[in-house]
Every structure is written in C-alpha cells, then in structure tokens.
Structure 1
Amino acid sequence: MNEKSVHINKKYWSFIVQALSKGGYLKEALKQLTFFGENDFMHPDLPLYNIFLNGCMKSQNLANANNCLKVMDEQLIGKSEITYWELLKVAVWQGNLPVVYEIWRDLRKYYNPSIISLRKFIWSFTKLGDFRAAYSLLQHMVSTGVHGGDCLKVSGEKKIRSSRVDIPIPVIIDFHSSVLDKKMIDLSSPEIGRLDAIKEASVIDVKKNTLSTELRKVLRWSFNDLIHACAQCREYNMAEQLFLQMHDLGLEPSPHTFDGFVRAVILEKGVAYAMRVVNEMEKRNLKPNYTTISTLSIAYSEILELDRAESLLGQILDSSPKYIHPFNAFLSACNVMDQPERAIGILAKMKQLNMRPNIRTFELLFQLFGNVNAPYEEGNIFSRAEVKKRIEILEADMIRNGVQHSFVSLEILIRALGNEGMITEMLQYFHLAETLFLHPKSYSRTVMYNNVLHSLVDAREGRMAVEVFREMKDGDFPPDSTTYNIMVNCCSILGSFKSACALVSMMLRSGYFPQAVTYTALIKILLSDEDFDGALDLLEQSTSEGIELDVLLYNTVLLEADRKGRIDIIEMIIERMHRQKIQPDPATCNYVFSAYIRHDFHNSAMEALQVLSLRMISQDEAVLRERRASFEDLVHSEDPDVESWMINIFEEVNEHLAVALLNLRWCAMSGHSISWQPEENLWARRLASLYGSG
C-alpha cells in the first residue's frame, strides 16, 4: 500500500492492529497502538485496546497486557466492562485471586455491574476457589434479575449481552458492605441458598415472575459454575441448596447442572444416592453426560462393585483423554480384587474406542500382569518366560502411545520381577530407574532399594545385596528401618552374626530401634549355628525391651528346634507362648507335631496337636465353652463332605479356625477323645510344671 501510495487511514490501521493482535504478534500490535496514541488524527478507540488485551489473554502474555494498560493510562483511555472481562481472563489464567478483587474494586468505581459482568466475576471466583465471593455475587445477580434491574438481548453474533449502554455509571449502593463481604455469609446456615430479597418480603412470587429466556440462560450458567465449584470444595449441602434455589426460580437444570450436583453429593451421600439423581434426570428426558457416567463408574470401582462399574463404562463412547480416569479406576479395582481376567475386557473396550492410555494405565497393567506365579508359588522357567512376554507387549504399547516409564512404573516392575525371582531383569530395570531419575531428591528411592534388597535376599544373593546396600549409602539415600531389617536378615544367608550386630548398631545410630522382625533375623543366625542358648538369651532381651513378640518369631525357633530334634526347646517355647498369650498358627502345630513324630512320641504328638488347635480357636476357656456347642458336631460328624464344607466356610472368615477344626476332627477320627478344656490336658499340665516358672 505504501509502494502504491495508497492512503492508510484510521480504519485501515485498526484492521492492522486487530490482525496483529489476533495473530499473536503482540509486540508489533502494541507498537501500532502506541503510534496511534501519539497521533492526534488517528487516536485509537477503546474497543481496539480491548481486542489487543484479548490477544494477550489468548497468548497468555502478561507483560504485554501490563504495557497496554500503561499506554491506556498515559493516553487517558478509560475502561469498559469488556476491558474488565479481558483483564479477568488474564488474572484467572495467572491464578491470581487478589488481582480479581482489584479488578472488582476498580469496576465498581465506575459501573453498576451488569448481569453479564456479574456472571463473569462469578466464573472467575469459582475458578480460583473463592466459594463465598462467588455465592455472594450470585445472590446479588439473582436479585438484580428478579427485580428487573438489567435486561438482556441477543447480539448479531448470537451472544447474550446487556441492553444497557456501556457508559460508566457510578454504583448507587455501597457494594463493599453488601457484596463480597466474607462475614456476611454463614455457609453452615440452613437458610443459605434462599434469596435475601425473597426472605424479607413475599411480594415477589419468583415462580410466577416471568424471567426472560436470556436471563434464565445466564442464571443457569452461573448456578452451574457454583454447583461445579461445590463438587471441588465438597460442599454438598450448598449444592443441594443451590439446586433448590434453581427450582424456586423456575430454572430447569441441564445435564451439566446434574453433572455438577452428582459430583458434589456423591462423596458425602454415596453412589446409591447419586444413581437416584440420575434416575430423576431420565424421568425428565435428560440424558446424563459422559462426565456424570464417569463419576458414577469411578465411585462403583472404589467400592469394588465391578459389575456396575463395567456396565457404566460400556456407556462411554468418547475417547477424550479425561475419560481414561474411570477406566484406570476399574483397573485399580481389578488389582485390589485380584481379578486380572476382568481387566482384559476393559482393555478391549479401550482399543475399540481408540482411547489412549496414560502412564497410570500402564502402571496398573504392570501390577495386574507383572506376575504369573508370585505370590502364590515360586517362579519357574515357564512363569518367567510368560512374565517377560507380557512386559514386552506392554512396553511396545507404551512406545506406540508415546508414553514413557515413570518412577512408579519402574518400581512396580522391579517388585514384580523380584517376586518372580527374575534377578537379572530386575537389576536391569533398577539401573534404568537410577539412570532416568538421577536427582536423589526427585523421588523417594528408599522403597525401591528395599524392594531390590528384599528380592536379592529372598533369592539368597547375599553378596549382591551387600553391594546394593553400599551403593545406597554412598548415594546418600537414607536407609530406613525396613532396609536395616532386610540387611540383618541378609546376614543369616552370609552366616555372620558379627555383621548383623554391626547393622543393628548402625540402625540405632540412625534413630531406629530393633523390632520383632530384627530379633527374628538375629535369632535365625544363631540357630543356624545351633546356638540355642544365644537365641533364648535374645528372646529374653527382646521381652525385657518391651518388644511385642509375634508367632513368626517363635516359629523360627520351633522350626530349627524341629530340624535339630530339640524337643526340650520346643516344649519350653510352646509354654512361653502360652504364658505370653501368643496364639499358635498352623505352622506352630506342624513343627511341634512333626518333632514328636520324628522321635516316635505319637501320643504326645496327638495331645499337642489337640491343645494347640484349641488354642488357635481361643485361649479363653469361656469362649471355648461357648463355641463347643456349634463346633463339636462338626468335629464328630459322619458326613463325608463335612471337611470340604469346613474349609469352604471357615477359610473365608478365619483360615486358622478351619485348620484348627480339621486338626480336631483328625484327632477324633484317630480315637482320641476331645477335651474342650486344654489346660486339663496331661501334656499341657506337664509343660506348665516344667517351664511355667520360666
């Protein structure tokens, strides 16, 4: 245009500034605006500055927005309600609540805010979490609309606008004392949610008051904003009151309204209540949106009702990234319920929808499919080959979806491979985690190291565990109580009581005290050298230090005593357990019974089995007398299926109870009479007389 000497007037320059602003060339656009301001013949209008501010908001460029405001101040350009709206959007993008308050204060110096402006401030306050301010403005907005304080119209661009001319008019009332005064509202009040204007006088019948279609839309939008904010703030009472107020105003709730309401009430009132809300929607011929269905499915997954959760997932037909969350929640529930087979159908549904999994999806899949035999059986060549195949398939899928390993996914893999006994592969992922997450404080690595150490010790790779432990300390990753206990247990593999004591010393200096598991590991080392006296001394020491001993510790002694044929040690430990009211478990019965059988003490074996089984049921003779009536018939029943019945029924409630009843039944079938007073048993009385004094 310059080359052809075409005169560029103010109109052309305005289009140039608009194009630059909308295209994101803010530096160039501001240069033109500044040039305008310095030219008396082409002084820019306020709408042009508003367009530039809109460009700043879209580009999220705060510096240019501030520069524009300076130019406007220098050139004495005022502000319209549109200007304040553009500034609000920038403030919300920044997450700057104080700036929103400042914009509000500046606006009301010059304007009695229109309904449209109030709606935009309500949106801003809900986005930034100021629930009370949003509620206060909503009540003022409703009052203004009901009293006809502002009329709305639809513009040529199909946008709802205020019919008022955008000319600054000072506020008539003092908003500072009536609106946005946080002390004005008591959220716990049962009356909250009813308009002050309506409470003061019943002259206005809101239900009969004719509100324009445009006003209804704007009011519903703001109610929706606040109801959705209730969901974020878990203010279910407020959500209910707002819902009732909408009814009072004759505002028909939309599916979006119901969505916010469901999410607000589901945590407090439960998924059954939320489903009743959805049923009410359907009675109104409103279809719940996918967000609502997603919320319900997640809730059912959390309470492990997988059938209902899966049924709702089948209704989601959108592959947007946000809808991956209910699928992940379902996979998590499958993991809790140990039902990986159910996850396969959901994965097929995701493939059908072309829904892109995220890293959380893969973390859950590694948890579900990362083990074959573990934890129920030890890994073998077949299970390990299957695990390797599964991991390769999942990692190939990660690459296709552009998902990289997280620290959590690597932790899960390390634990899974360690459980299967795949030590080489576990160490490969361990070193990968060290490489990818170099900074020591980026993630808590202690748990990861503990998983590696535990797997190495479990695989009896003691020397390798020591190297990893040294690497851990050299890398400034602080060992915790679990780490020290694992390494003390490692010393039982190495057979070094001296090293174990050194670790206990380090443990104490680090501020951790020995626990029952620590003494168990130490005792195991002494027992491997047949140092029963030292093991018993440690038992005494643990008791004097107030350690709450458990059956696992005593079983460790019983196992070794059984192997070495030390019936005297076994009998002393059993009596000590009884004195300390530690109930035996099936392993206890096994060790004691087998020790007597090895020495051909068959009567003692059966008596011990009977006494220990009764103690497994209860150590209180009064409880045994109460249960005798119900259990004695089972023990002496001639029904051939009674044993299967006992296992099926009692294993789910109490596994030890099922074993105890089976033991008693076998004693009875062997011809031994069952006494439900175990302390009167000759074997129990002999142990009490020999070892009862300690």
Structure 2
Amino acid sequence: MVSRTSARRAASATTTLVSGPYERGELSTIMIHPNNFTSSKSRTQPQDPPGKYFKKDQKLNAKDALGEFENMLQMQTLPSITSFNTLLGTVAKAKKYQDLISMFNQMAEADLLPDYIGMNILLNCYCDLKRVDLGFAVMGGLLKRGYKPNIVTYTSLIKGLCMEDKIGDAIGLLRKVIRMGFHPNVKTWGTLINGLCKSGNAEVALRLHKEMVNGKLGSGLRFNPNLIYYSCLIDGLCKEGFVENGKELFQEMEGKGISPDVVAYGALIHGLCNVGDWEQAKELFIQMMDRGIRPNVVTFNMLIDALCKEGKTDEASGMLDLMIRRGEEPDSITFNTLLDGYCLEGRISDARELFVSMAAKCQERDVETYNVLINGYFKCRKWKEAMSLFEEMVSREYKPTVITFNIVLSGLFQEVYYWMVFAKTIVLKRHWTCSKLSKSPIIN
C-alpha cells in the first residue's frame, strides 16, 4: 500500500487542466500515467451489495453526490469503486468539472485508483473542457492498464476533436475506428455530424452522411439515422443556406418512416424563412399543425421574425394571437421582434400599444424591449418620447447597455443635426432675400 505521504507527493505533480474559469482545476498525473501508481499498490475495496449506499431509485444531485463522496472517503473500509463511479457520474452529468477534478485528486490522495468506468468519465471531462490532448493521454493510461477502449471512449474523443474544430482529425479517427472493427452507434454519428454542422461544415457533413447511408465508409458498414440525427443535419444545412438539401433530407427521413417532430419542422421552417420562401414555410407550418405537432415558442418566433422582415406585421400580429390561443406563452423575444417590426414600418403608435399590452399580459419587459422602442421613437423624430422612455427605463432599474447609449446619443445628434441644417437653411434664405432686396431698383 502506498503511504499517505507518497500519495500526496504524487498528487502534487499536477497537470494544469484549462485556463479561464477552470484555471485552478488540476488533476494528478497518476490519473494520466497510472504506471506510476499500479492497481497492486492501490487500496482494495470490497464489492458492495446492491443498494448498500444508494437506493435503487435514488436520484442524487451534484451537491448530494459531493457530500456523500466526502463521507465515503472518511470510512475506515472504503466502499467499492462502483459506488464512487455513481457519484463521479452524477457530478459529470451536472457538468461540475472543477468539482469532478477535485474528486479525482482526493481519490488519488486516498490511494484509490479509478477503474475503466471512472477513467472514461475523466476522459469525457477533458473532452468537454476542450482538452482532447489530455483525453488521449487518459486513453493511453487505459491501454497501459490492459483496458480496451470501446465505442463510448472513441465517441468522447471524436466529440473533443470537433469541439476544438479539429474536424479532419475527427473524421480520420472515425475511419480508423471503423477499420479496427468497431461499429459506431447513433451517438457516434450524431456527435460527428453535430460537430461538423456547428463548425460551419454542413456540406462536409452531408457528404459524410451519403457515405454512411450508402455503406461506403469501409467494411460495408451501413447506418440507420434516427430523428435527432436528421434534425441536427437539416438544421446545420439550413443555417448555411443549403435549404434545398435540407428539404431533400426531410423527405428522405419521412421515406424511412421517421416522423418529424417540432425540432425537425422548426429547422426547415427557419431555413425557408431565411431564404425568403415564406409561402412554403407557411405550408410546412400548417402541415405540422394538421399532423397534431404543437409548435413551440421557438417555431412561432421564427415565423413572426420572418413576417416582420417581409413587412407583414399585421400577419405577424395574427401569428402572435394564434400563439396565445393555442396556449403557447410568448416570451420577450416574441414581443421584441414584433415591436421592432412595427418600428421599422414607422407604426410607432402600434408599437407603443404593444409595449403597454406586455404589462397586461404579465410579460416582463427587458432592456432590449426598451432599446427597440426608444430607437423607434428617434427614427420617427419623436425625441421627447424617446427620452421620456429612457428615463422610465432607468427609473424602473433596467440597466442601460452600450447599445442603449448608442441609440440615445445617435438619436440626439441626428435631432441636433436636423435643427442645425434647418437653422442654416433659414439663415441662407434670409441672406439671399436680403441680398436680392438690396439690389432691387425699388429700394435703390
């Protein structure tokens, strides 16, 4: 058994994890280089009977898990590593990475070596923190201890590479994994496709998708995508302007017997709105409701935004009414979008009426709400109303932003400039009149 002193000395040889909010998060190198701390030296734990420390249906939150972890470390005979894994998994799911790293450090100081599951949790933690290099180091530790990485391990690494925009490496790793005989699951494919789409490589994702469904990735491997996968790819394509490809995928999905949900519909509707195809977006929206799929606030906001950009604020207002009738509660984005639409059309009275109605509908205003209407007043050259609203905003303890001050200063300068031009025009006209009169033969 390793002494407490030697364990602490080993734990002090740390690897800095990340900068920023996790800059103090450090992890003992014995977690990455376990050849310095073999399982024969670690404290052994008995196999706990099921439910000894946790009830089968007990749901722990991160705070409870941390407290239970401290209690377990104080026990004379440590619980099994399985019990520790339960707590590590709970904290990892809550994305409390700094706490998770602290837990691994404390395990190291207690001569407690994580097993295969624990090291996979650690590997995934590194990948989520955009330190895939350390994730690969942990995999090296797994191999040194005789463990064989599985598809879950590789999926975490692919995710980490995507998060660091190492797209080529991610695709290369996937191809290597397939050559090694692994069968990537839905999560693996979804992770890579999601990473490609988020990094602006939706076209690459589409090519990869075609290879996958046609079994051209090697070993004759074919893949049956699910709804989440399709929704992600359709969304990525539409956001990059490949709306026609998005429509084709939508039809392909339905052809495979996969019924689209509100997310899939919303992704395609958003894409159609962005390219100005409002009519087809409306048809898709009606189809969605006819199929009994309830539009959510995001879907309604997309349509209201598209209508306002098309100058169809009356239809946008009707969409808001429909939204309320169907029991979907508008949010501040809904109101701000319509408010901005009214202001862009110069319908400042309608904008003011909507602004007032927000209080009646128990909808909390935000800084953006005030910014939109203040800007609208200035655009209509109603600077007194704009300044009155600004004062109301401050009195209600809404903190003005840089955008707010830019709107106010720009509006006031434009108003001053208008009056300066007006004054100059009057002076010039009077000067011209006097000049002409002075040359008049009647006066002379």
TM-score tier, shorter chain, comes to: 0.5 to 0.7
- Once residues 445 and 540 of structure 1 are traced to their aligned partners in structure 2, the CA distance between those partners, rounded to angstroms, is 34
Q: TM-score, normalised by structure 1?
A: 0.43
1:567 paired residue among 331, 344, 348:
348
**What is residue 369 of structure 2 aligned with on the other side?**
588
Q: Highest CA radius of gyration, 1 or 2? A: 1
Letter in 1 for 2:326: E
**Maintained 8 Å contact 2:340/2:372:** yes
1:309 paired residue among 100, 103, 108:
103
**What is residue 155 of structure 2 aligned with on the other side?**
363
**Maintained 8 Å contact 2:178/2:184:** no
1:340 aligns with 2:340: no
Per-residue Cα deviation, 1:264-285 (whole angstroms, up to 9, x for no partner): 3056685644554554336xxx
- Once residues 91 and 313 of structure 2 are traced to their aligned partners in structure 1, the CA distance between those partners, rounded to angstroms, is 54
Per-residue Cα deviation, 1:75-125 (whole angstroms, up to 9, x for no partner): xxxxxxxxxxxxxxxxxxxxxxxxxxxxxxxxxxxxxxxxxxxxxxxxxxx
1:547 paired residue among 328, 351, 354:
328
- How far has the Cα of 1:427 moved from its partner? 0.9
1:407 aligns with 2:186: yes
1:518 paired residue among 283, 299, 309:
299
Q: TM-score, normalised by structure 2?
A: 0.64
**What is residue 329 of structure 1 aligned with on the other side?**
121
Per-residue Cα deviation, 1:551-579 (whole angstroms, up to 9, x for no partner): 22222223334444443343232122222
1:418 paired residue among 184, 197, 200:
197
**What is residue 280 of structure 1 aligned with on the other side?**
75
**What is residue 265 of structure 1 aligned with on the other side?**
53
1:482 aligns with 2:263: yes
Instruction: Let me know the Cα RMSD of the aligned residues.
Output: 3.8
Letter in 2 for 1:330: L
**What is residue 502 of structure 1 aligned with on the other side?**
283
User: 1:416-495, aligned counterparts within 5 Å?
Assistant: 416-435=195-214, 445-495=226-276
Letter in 1 for 2:399: L
Q: CA 1:289 to 1:495, structure 2 compared with 1: closer, same or farther past 3 Å?
A: closer
- Once residues 302 and 317 of structure 2 are traced to their aligned partners in structure 1, the CA distance between those partners, rounded to angstroms, is 13
- Once residues 302 and 443 of structure 1 are traced to their aligned partners in structure 2, the CA distance between those partners, rounded to angstroms, is 27
- Once residues 89 and 325 of structure 2 are traced to their aligned partners in structure 1, the CA distance between those partners, rounded to angstroms, is 50
Hey, which bits of structure 1, 4+ residues long, moved more than 6 A? none
**Maintained 8 Å contact 2:124/2:135:** no
Letter in 1 for 2:289: L
- How far has the Cα of 1:260 moved from its partner? 0.9
**Maintained 8 Å contact 2:69/2:84:** no
1:351 aligns with 2:140: yes
**Maintained 8 Å contact 1:577/1:583:** yes
Per-residue Cα deviation, 1:614-634 (whole angstroms, up to 9, x for no partner): 66x6xxxxxxxxxxxxxxxxx
- Once residues 416 and 576 of structure 1 are traced to their aligned partners in structure 2, the CA distance between those partners, rounded to angstroms, is 42
- Once residues 299 and 498 of structure 1 are traced to their aligned partners in structure 2, the CA distance between those partners, rounded to angstroms, is 47
- Once residues 328 and 275 of structure 1 are traced to their aligned partners in structure 2, the CA distance between those partners, rounded to angstroms, is 22
- How far has the Cα of 1:508 moved from its partner? 2.6
- Once residues 90 and 350 of structure 2 are traced to their aligned partners in structure 1, the CA distance between those partners, rounded to angstroms, is 54
**Maintained 8 Å contact 2:65/2:91:** no
- How far has the Cα of 1:580 moved from its partner? 1.0
- How far has the Cα of 1:662 moved from its partner? 4.7
Letter in 2 for 1:281: Q
Letter in 2 for 1:468: L
Letter in 2 for 1:364: S
Letter in 2 for 1:419: K
Structure 1 residue matching 2:48: 3-state secondary structure: helix
**Maintained 8 Å contact 2:65/2:87:** no
**What is residue 642 of structure 1 aligned with on the other side?**
none
**Maintained 8 Å contact 1:589/1:613:** no
**What is residue 399 of structure 2 aligned with on the other side?**
661
**What is residue 201 of structure 1 aligned with on the other side?**
none
- Once residues 300 and 521 of structure 1 are traced to their aligned partners in structure 2, the CA distance between those partners, rounded to angstroms, is 35
**Maintained 8 Å contact 2:332/2:363:** yes
Q: CA 1:309 to 1:431, structure 2 compared with 1: closer, same or farther past 3 Å?
A: farther
Q: CA 1:491 to 1:275, structure 2 compared with 1: closer, same or farther past 3 Å?
A: closer
Letter in 2 for 1:405: P
**What is residue 653 of structure 1 aligned with on the other side?**
none
Structure 2 residue matching 1:661: 3-state secondary structure: coil
User: 1:219-298, aligned counterparts within 5 Å?
Assistant: 255-257=44-46, 259-260=47-48, 264-266=52-54, 270=65, 272-273=67-68, 275-281=70-76, 294=85, 297-298=88-89
- How far has the Cα of 1:415 moved from its partner? 1.4
Letter in 1 for 2:186: F
Letter in 1 for 2:374: F
- Once residues 274 and 388 of structure 1 are traced to their aligned partners in structure 2, the CA distance between those partners, rounded to angstroms, is 37
Q: CA 1:356 to 1:539, structure 2 compared with 1: closer, same or farther past 3 Å?
A: same
**Maintained 8 Å contact 1:297/1:313:** no
Q: CA 1:515 to 1:308, structure 2 compared with 1: closer, same or farther past 3 Å?
A: closer
**Maintained 8 Å contact 1:265/1:274:** no
Q: CA 1:531 to 1:288, structure 2 compared with 1: closer, same or farther past 3 Å?
A: closer
- Identical aligned residues as a percent: 19
- How far has the Cα of 1:455 moved from its partner? 1.4
- How far has the Cα of 1:261 moved from its partner? 5.7
Structure 2 residue matching 1:280: 3-state secondary structure: coil
- How far has the Cα of 1:310 moved from its partner? 2.7
**Maintained 8 Å contact 1:370/1:413:** yes
- How far has the Cα of 1:410 moved from its partner? 0.9
Letter in 2 for 1:264: K
- How far has the Cα of 1:527 moved from its partner? 2.2
Q: CA 1:487 to 1:399, structure 2 compared with 1: closer, same or farther past 3 Å?
A: closer
**What is residue 387 of structure 1 aligned with on the other side?**
166
Q: CA 1:476 to 1:346, structure 2 compared with 1: closer, same or farther past 3 Å?
A: closer
- Once residues 488 and 449 of structure 1 are traced to their aligned partners in structure 2, the CA distance between those partners, rounded to angstroms, is 15
Structure 2 residue matching 1:478: 3-state secondary structure: coil
Structure 1 residue matching 2:238: 3-state secondary structure: helix
Structure 2 residue matching 1:582: 3-state secondary structure: coil
User: 1:99-248, aligned counterparts within 5 Å?
Assistant: none
**Maintained 8 Å contact 2:213/2:224:** no
- Once residues 540 and 531 of structure 1 are traced to their aligned partners in structure 2, the CA distance between those partners, rounded to angstroms, is 15
Q: CA 1:408 to 1:436, structure 2 compared with 1: closer, same or farther past 3 Å?
A: farther
